[in-house]
Structure 1
């Protein structure tokens, strides 16, 4: 996949091995910003070594067709991620969508633009029929991102994921890519 220029000097591109150090730096910088929306993280998570291993796993999943790991990158930093994971083929042709953006870049429309592009990639390049995403019930900003991209809410999952140390309810969204 060729990089896609977004705005503010940011491009959307496939994760690369050399991104591990940038990811560790950005996650450390955004630790407090992401904590309310993310799983609890062990100290190792904030190291380059941990991200080297995770990047290798993500790239193996990409090579096998199980995931599409993307980053929002500037020439000197990673400022967000958008990932299609759990790609399921056959009768389902579906994947889960996850994303986050650096606090400094939040509110500039970058993640909305990236998600819009990823919807097209999922449909046209990956050949999926459906995408699913979940948000905490009170994460209205993330819900707006999904709604802008044409996702529809289809239910609520009680105690769906362990976020910020607690099993929390999530609003579920989906987008049908082929009618």
Structure 2
């Protein structure tokens, strides 16, 4: 668990989070619609979310993904952060994704959450690299990545089907080994 501020923590998704996630997604349905794939109505139900939570927990146990929620001190979920498609071997990489509740934006939660996941990916998972993709017009998310040391590596035409259309994305990466070597060189 990582403290993001005095009232929000970042913690792993756990069994029983389905109802709270359904409430969070329902409260942010319009806010997230331009940034995510089109969602069927059942996506917003506690049963669908709890089934997804079970998959998330299984994926974490097998080290395929590491998924987290941003939770307030009273147990309300206000966002998600994910390390998806974790690959070991010579690649040692993962994809980073996140969203923040529309009522919590502008408070630095995304930036601090990404900072925590960078440290987790480097220190707990021993990854070499994180990649993230944003819609071309998502300046806020691009600023979060930039603040956290991610560099732009290219443009991926028609990368993901978002809001019902194949849309271009800007790709970013952060090499985590650089963090380790710079720490080792300090006196």
* TM-score when normalising by structure 2: 0.93
Determine the structure 1 residue equivalent to 2:184.
none
Q: Quick one: distance in 1 between partners of 2:171 and 2:34?
A: 18
Corresponding residue to 2:19 among 18, 21, 30: 21
Determine the structure 2 residue equivalent to 1:144.
143
Q: Please, which runs of 5 or more residues in structure 1 have no aligned partner?
A: none
Determine the structure 2 residue equivalent to 1:89.
88
Count of matched residue pairs:
177
Q: Shift of residue 164 of structure 1?
A: 0.5
Q: Quick one: distance in 2 between partners of 1:126 and 1:148?
A: 22
1:95-126 deviations in Å (ceiling 9; x for gaps): 00000000000111001000001000000001
Q: Please, which runs of 5 or more residues in structure 2 have no aligned partner?
A: 179-187
Q: Shift of residue 76 of structure 1?
A: 2.8
State the structure with more CA Rg: 2
Q: Quick one: distance in 2 between partners of 1:77 and 1:42?
A: 23
Q: Aligned Cα RMSD in Å?
A: 0.7
Determine the structure 2 residue equivalent to 1:162.
161
- Off by >6 Å, runs of 4+ in structure 1: none
Q: Quick one: distance in 2 between partners of 1:148 and 1:83?
A: 18
